[in-house]
């Protein structure tokens, strides 16, 4: 016997709830695994690692990453280079990250591709010594400024937001040539954007990739999405060269509509996406004459970055499994 419409609707609601709950549990599990040192140690050294990272990571060396940036430039796409790594455990490691970024910046500037670099403050010593971290960042921003490019300062989990906004603001006052990142899932983000706009500090707006408690971030995706659109419109109206960083097709279409209706020129902002994600949308934006910059990660310390990409779209776990067992 066919179920009555009301029974069918109830079954649908239960099925949707179960699917939503499974996605939430899997996301939380993947984000928890992203902090497990033992697993990271094992996976990053695995012979099979190249099989599952190649979709999201440009390569293990700077040369491979530069090659990708050149290819992207030939496809009218800009890049921001991310040398993978975060939460270093010694100042020596932090200085090594700074030096690797200085080399990357110098090479990018020499190639004249209009590319920037993206850094994480915990990779430059924020957890160990804020003063040393600031000095490391300062030398990178100074180099970027001299070469006519900028340093984009990624946003990490919520415990770092105050310190990150303060450092970006100081660097902007000293050299300009920086971009802040704001996460739409945090309740505080509108106030942060107001402050950054008041000082004409460029902002990259993303949804946010960490597992945050309901005390600081919207737990429901629908609320995050609605806030994203509101904040993006605010930035498009009042921000200094904002970057709209998302692969959400619905949101991008709403914003493209807004941009057209307001007559906002394509030179006043840029779209940003992650290397290897939604290449169809990437091509569509470039074909329509918009500026697009891809976030291009490289290096051996890919594990936390990779796990956050899996958590964003648990269907990637299936993709990963298929690649792993492919002959």
How many other CB atoms are there within 10 angstroms of residue 24's CB atom?
Answer: 13
Residue 6 beta carbon to ligand FDA: minimum distance, rounded to whole angstroms = 31
For ligand FDA, the binding residue among 135, 170, 223, 248 (CB under 6 A) is: 248
In angstroms, how far is the first alpha carbon of the chain from the final one?
45
Question: Which tokens belong to 108?
Answer: 């990018």
Q: Which helix (H) or strand (E) holds 204?
A: strand 203-206
Is position 82 an interface residue for ligand FDA (rule: CB under 6 A)?
no
Residue 8 or 191: the one with the smaller Cβ distance to ligand FDA is 191
Question: Based on C-alpha coordinates, what's the Rg of the chain?
Answer: 20
Active site residues: 154, 204
Please check whether residue 203 is in contact with residue 181, taking contact to mean a CB–CB distance below 8 angstroms: yes
Residue 44 beta carbon to ligand FDA: minimum distance, rounded to whole angstroms = 19
Please check whether residue 56 is in contact with residue 323, taking contact to mean a CB–CB distance below 8 angstroms: no
Residue 283 beta carbon to ligand FDA: minimum distance, rounded to whole angstroms = 15
Site string for ligand FDA, 193-232 (x = CB under 6 A): -------------xxxxx----------------------
For ligand FDA, the binding residue among 236, 259, 274, 307 (CB under 6 A) is: 274
Find how far residue 101's CA is from the centre of its chain.
17
Question: Which tokens belong to 79?
Answer: 């890049």
Please check whether residue 153 is in contact with residue 164, taking contact to mean a CB–CB distance below 8 angstroms: yes
Q: Would you call 302 helix, strand, or coil by DSSP?
A: coil
Q: Would you call 217 helix, strand, or coil by DSSP?
A: strand
For ligand FDA, the binding residue among 40, 175, 291, 309 (CB under 6 A) is: 309
Residue 77 or 183: the one with the smaller Cβ distance to ligand FDA is 183
**Number of helical (H) and strand (E) elements in the chain, helices listed first:** 13, 8
Segments in 112-160 forming alpha helices (H): 130-146
Is position 77 an interface residue for ligand FDA (rule: CB under 6 A)?
no
Please check whether residue 295 is in contact with residue 118, taking contact to mean a CB–CB distance below 8 angstroms: yes
Is position 246 an interface residue for ligand FDA (rule: CB under 6 A)?
yes
The interface region with ligand FDA, picked from 71-79, 102-110, 188-196, 269-277 by CB under 6 A, is 269-277
Q: Find the binding residues for ligand FDA in span 132-191 (CB under 6 A).
A: 154-155, 181, 183
For ligand FDA, the binding residue among 277, 284, 286, 320 (CB under 6 A) is: 277
For ligand FDA, the binding residue among 149, 177, 272, 282 (CB under 6 A) is: 272
User: What is the Cα–Cα distance from 170 to 177, expressed in whole angstroms?
Assistant: 11
Residue 94 or 121: the one with the smaller Cβ distance to ligand FDA is 121
Question: Which tokens belong to 297?
Answer: 């990660």
Q: How many residues bind ligand FDA (CB under 6 A)?
A: 23
Give contact residues for ligand FDA (rule: CB under 6 A).
Answer: 154-155, 181, 183, 206-210, 245-248, 272-274, 277-278, 295, 309, 312-313, 316
């Amino acid at each position: 016997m066919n179920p009555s419409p009301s029974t069918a609707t109830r079954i649908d609601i239960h099925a949707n709830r179960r699917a939503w709950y499974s996605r939430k549990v899997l996301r939380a599990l993947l984000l928890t695994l992203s902090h497990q040192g033992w697993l990271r140690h094992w996976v990053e050294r695995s012979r099979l690692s190249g099989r599952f990272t190649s979709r999201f990571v440009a390569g293990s060396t700077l040369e491979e990453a530069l090659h990708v940036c050149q290819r992207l430039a030939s496809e009218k796409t800009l890049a921001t280079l991310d040398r993978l790594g975060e939460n270093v455990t010694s100042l020596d490691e932090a200085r090594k990250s700074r030096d690797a970024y200085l080399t990357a910046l110098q090479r990018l500037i020499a190639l004249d591709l209009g590319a920037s670099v993206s850094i994480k403050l915990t990779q430059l010593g924020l957890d160990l010594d804020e003063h040393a971290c600031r000095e490391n960042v300062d030398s990178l921003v100074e180099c970027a400024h001299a070469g006519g490019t900028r340093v984009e300062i990624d946003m990490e989990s919520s415990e770092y937001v105050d310190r990150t906004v303060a450092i970006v603001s100081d660097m902007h006052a000293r050299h300009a040539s920086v971009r802040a990142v704001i996460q739409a899932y945090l309740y505080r983000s509108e106030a942060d954007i107001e402050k950054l706009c008041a000082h004409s500090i460029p902002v990259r707006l993303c949804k946010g990739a960490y597992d945050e408690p309901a005390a600081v971030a919207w737990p429901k995706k629908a609320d995050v999405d609605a806030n994203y659109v509101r904040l993006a419109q605010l930035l498009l109206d009042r921000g200094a060269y904002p970057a709209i960083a998302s692969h959400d097709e619905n949101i991008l279409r709403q914003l493209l509509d807004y941009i057209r209706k307001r007559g906002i020129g394509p030179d006043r902002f840029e779209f940003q996406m992650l290397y290897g994600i939604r290449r169809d949308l990437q091509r569509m934006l470039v074909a329509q004459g918009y500026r697009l910059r891809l976030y291009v990660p490289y290096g051996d310390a890919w594990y936390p970055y990779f796990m956050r990409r899996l958590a964003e779209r648990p269907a990637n776990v299936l993709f990963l499994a298929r690649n792993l067992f492919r002959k």
